[in-house]
Structure 1
């Protein structure tokens, strides 16, 4: 009888909800409210943690900040206002403390990747890649395969390919400088004879061509042609294939905006958000970016290659069962390499150029070191010539700290049994994160000038020991960036070559570096004037 009454009441509620648009709207609002309020009330630890009022009951506070491209700044300001622990959503707590890094991201902590990462999964039929795999056993399997491709011997073999693309960049910039010198081009503030260009655009070209060379055995031709264009392939699953061309820089930006924002929305509402213009437009870029990776994998499978590049390493790798990756999994991992190898390099190198140009004393110190140490080196130095240069390393470290390309706090879910982090107990299922941008500005670690760009801090006694616990440009733990060593080799050679060769000034030297955060924090544009240095 009781069961019958329950069923009857449920049917009556459904009939009422469907009886008119107002009733349906009220029902949906009630369901949405319950979806957010119930986790808030059940998580007794989270109830006591301060944060923006809207964030107490809804995920849409942080989602709206992400759509505007300034999530990192909103979270940073919230910590400045509320303290170490801040609620970003009913069940998401941000912890701005270096001591939280290991409990949240470290080895053997048991934290899990939450549903946020589902928004980064490639479209069907492609499987999850290393970054967005949530299952711990599957992640361990994938990491063993992918880590093998970044063994020290392999990384050493990549150096000639990196140096080739750096040389191509220098050759193109030399062309512009020679033309400007001959024409005595008059630039801003009467700076004659300089080549004025958007350095971000050209650093994007470099980054895409470099990862194309490293990962797929051939470049995208962007440096050579001065055009941002990549081949895209779409398959319908029935043997049909459609080929297109697209702006790779634009779609990788929009893909980051889509996934980085959609991941913050509750799982149940994502299909509806995907139909809204802001999301639907960017969803096309998600598909196109996967199509770029597919085009490269198809080319390799059809034509083969003698190159020992990243894709060849992935093709030859086998898991614990002796099984190689299939085409779909190869594409998913190639996509991960494409994103990680292009986006971070261009963003970071652009930020370094900006910060050195706005801190001429730091640029002068760097160029003095390069002139002394590389007096007899080639135009593009060997990694062995530059990897131990003190001030160059100080510039790279300070730039990665200050700019924080990966500025957001990557979310993790507390496992069964709960966990105590920085003195607070969080029950199972709580989402926690540690914001890299804010940790990189912790005055207790970095000093009172933490908000300032100062490479000299890295030359202080015991700097590495004092800073290492709060320096996380590549994250930490089992899910840290496997390509860190390749990225640092690339940045080190690139920045040394550029500033050894050119005198660079900004079109707007007093302006802040404008950035937009999708998944990564990216410069928007950087107009600069270049000329060859007189050595």
Structure 2
């Protein structure tokens, strides 16, 4: 076979491979390896027949194949033939998701995506087949009840060594990761019951006990420097342990002696990367990576097993997941319960602790807001005569709720990764009369960018101004653009419990203590240390607390 014919054969094979990838998007290891290894090996066989030199044939065929494949992919992605060619965005993002993956590894994806919207507008191409959108009129068709199911990002977060039917069943019923609308709706039923008004009423004594423990722990450390962020993490972890597993976590009492909090936060890093390039997920079990994620899974498995064996004295999340019946009258399999336990741990503790820490940071750096909120709490709950634990009264404190909303607006706990995509097999999704999203295209809605858009929040959208939520005509506030708990069928199931938790902790701390930042703390550190690892992670917040009761 002549050299030109061999070159043509290698390039033809690479083009065919690209077309196959484009249509079927395989992520399983056997097909990926087969497509990347077998075709150039066949070409090498023909080359070897001509040259008699196997080593040179292999080198030549693989070089031609990969060069052709790379050229074909890159040319298509930046060409006018690509369905997203008309949308603006950095060239490097149009070519590959590897750049976004690098940004995500540094924990600053939320800031990077916002910078792209500042430069390019409300619709930005952030990947070869992905758009970021902060156009509020489009949100219902993306996130709403008639919107799209979750996108491939969620496939990239399923890091597990399990295979077979059990793994498929766990993935099918996992609340946060399910990409099938019917499966998600079925999984959501138990969570809705676990967080309805009656269930939350049952959780109130548990919350009160943990809040009291938290206040006592801080009181024993007054007049000394305390890492408030760490203590809020301990509180949130202990409380979620009560809600999810019927108890068993005692970080406020014993400290993180077993490294549980570290395991949880470390376990979120690798999925932050793989969610950007979900095609790599099949290789992860074969690589020496992800030990933190596996440790998080083992921790959830051990706690779930303990809960099943020991039972619980109150109706916790496991009660609803284990005793609930699905449409097929089958109980939830244990792997599914474990995967939902991971969700409960992360969504219920890490996010609450971060929102509380953010809110205290904003108050401590805005003394006028601090004093105004403390006065409101004192008037509603006089110091020494009434504890600030009445849920109904807390829910009706206007400035308290304005402070929490403003904190959630500026630093939402899920800053970037709300992704949706057309249902597989549907062909496309009509978002607007002149906006059709083809299958294979993903859409992200980044709350961090949306919440700081001056079209929806002005003036000074990057500044902490709680008054904007108090019907002040000086401010523009578009409530439809405020989605810290997401929106539509996949919104946060535990939103009402989370808001109760935030209000009660804020009120109790401000009633009992005078809080100030520790001497020498650089306030620029706080946002510099925040990391967007799917959920927002935080650094330390050193403060000094003084009992107000001692001043009376």
- Using structure 1 for the length normalisation, give the TM-score: 0.85
Indicate how the Cα distance of structure 1 residues 426 and 326 shifts in structure 2: closer, same or farther if over 3 A, else same: closer
Q: Does 1:530 align with 2:538?
A: no
Q: Residue 383 in 1 paired to residue 372 in 2? A: no
SS at match of 1:531: strand
Greater shift, 89-98 or 323-332, is seen at 323-332
Q: 2:400 aligns with which of 389, 392, 400?
A: 392
SS at match of 2:524: coil
* Pair 1:312-2:319 in alignment: yes
Q: Please give the secondary structure, in 2, of the residue aligned with 1:258.
A: helix
1:151 aligns with 2:196: yes
Matching residue of 1:233: none
Per-residue deviation, 1:382? 2.3
Partner of 2:335: 328
Deviations 1:171-208 (A, max 9, x none): 1111111xxxxxxxxxxxxxxxx220211111110110
Secondary structure class of the residue paired with 1:521 = strand
| CA positional deviation for 1:28 | 4.0
Q: In the TM superposition, what is the alpha-carbon distance from 1:170 to its structure 2 partner? A: 0.7
- Counterpart CA distance in 2 for 1:42 and 1:482 is 42
Pairing 1:74–2:112 present? yes
Matched, 1:138 2:187: no
- Check if 1:54 corresponds to 2:92: yes
Task: Please name the residue that 2:35 is paired with.
Answer: none
DSSP 3-state at the match of 1:444? coil
Partners of 2:185 and 2:473 in 1: CA distance: 35
> Structure 2 residue aligned with 1:444, among 455, 458, 465?
455
Partner of 1:218: 247
* Equivalent residues in 2 for 1:278-357, closer than 5 Å: 280=289, 283-357=290-364
Alpha-carbon distance between aligned partners in 2 of 1:436 and 1:302, rounded to the nearest angstrom: 40
Match of 2:154 in 1: 117
Q: How does 1:449-464 map to 2 (within 5 A)?
A: 449-461=460-472
Contact 1:56-1:89 within 8 A present in 2 as well: yes
Distance 2:534 2:68 in 1: 31
For residue 260 of structure 2, the aligned residue among 219, 243, 248 is: 248
Displacement of 1:319 in angstroms is 1.0
CA contact (8 A) 2:159 2:284 kept: no
CA distance in 2, matches of 1:256, 1:463: 41
CA contact (8 A) 2:267 2:295 kept: no
**2: CA distance between counterparts of 1:133 and 1:67?**
24
Q: 2:378 aligns with which of 358, 368, 371?
A: 371
> In the TM superposition, what whole-angstrom CA distance separates every residue of 1:25-61 from its partner, at most 9, and x where no partner exists?
6644543554565466586441111111111111112
Cα gap change, 1:368 to 1:445, in 2 (>3 Å): same
SS in structure 2 opposite 1:176?
coil
Residue number among 524, 536, 543 corresponding to 1:511 in the alignment? 524
Q: Quote how far apart the aligned CAs of 1:21 are.
A: 5.7
1:433 to 444, 447, 452: 444
The yes-or-no answer on 1:228 pairing with 2:256 is yes
Which stretch shifts more, 119-128 or 355-364? Answer: 119-128
**5+ residue gaps in structure 1?**
178-193, 230-245
Shift in Å, 1:20: 4.6
Instruction: Name the CA shift for 1:49/1:341 in 2 (closer, same or farther; >3 Å).
Output: same
CA distance in 2 between counterparts of 1:418 and 1:484 reads: 29
Instruction: State the aligned residue count.
Output: 492
Equivalent of 1:258, from 265, 270, 280? 270
List per-residue Cα deviations over 1:441-500 (Å, max 9, x = no partner): 111111121110101111125899943201100100111111111111111111111111
Deviation of 1:310 after TM superposition, in Å, equals 1.3
Which residue pairs with 2:234 in the alignment?
A: 205
Deviations 1:259-285 (A, max 9, x none): 122110141x345577777xx1xx111
- Mark the structure with the bigger radius of gyration: 2
| TM-score when normalising by structure 2 | 0.83
8 A contact 2:359–2:407 mirrored in 1? yes
The 10-residue stretch of structure 1 (27-36 or 55-64) with the greater mean CA deviation from structure 2: 27-36
- Going from structure 1 to structure 2, the CA distance change for 1:12 and 1:291 (only over 3 Å counts) comes to closer
Q: Does 1:100 align with 2:108?
A: no
Q: Tell me the SS of whatever aligns to 1:305.
A: coil
Extract structure 1 runs of 4+ deviating beyond 6 A. Answer: 5-9, 273-277, 462-465
Gap change, CA 1:92 and 1:141, over 3 Å in 2: same
Q: Specify every segment of 5 or more residues in structure 2 that has no aligned partner in the other structure, as ranges.
A: 1-7, 14-38, 48-53
Conserved? CA contact 1:506–1:529, under 8 Å: yes
Worse overlay, 482-491 or 29-38:
29-38
- 1:174 and 2:219 matched: yes
Alignment of 1:412-491 (within 5 A): 412-415=420-423, 416-421=427-432, 423-461=434-472, 466-491=477-502
Post-superposition offset of 1:373:
0.5
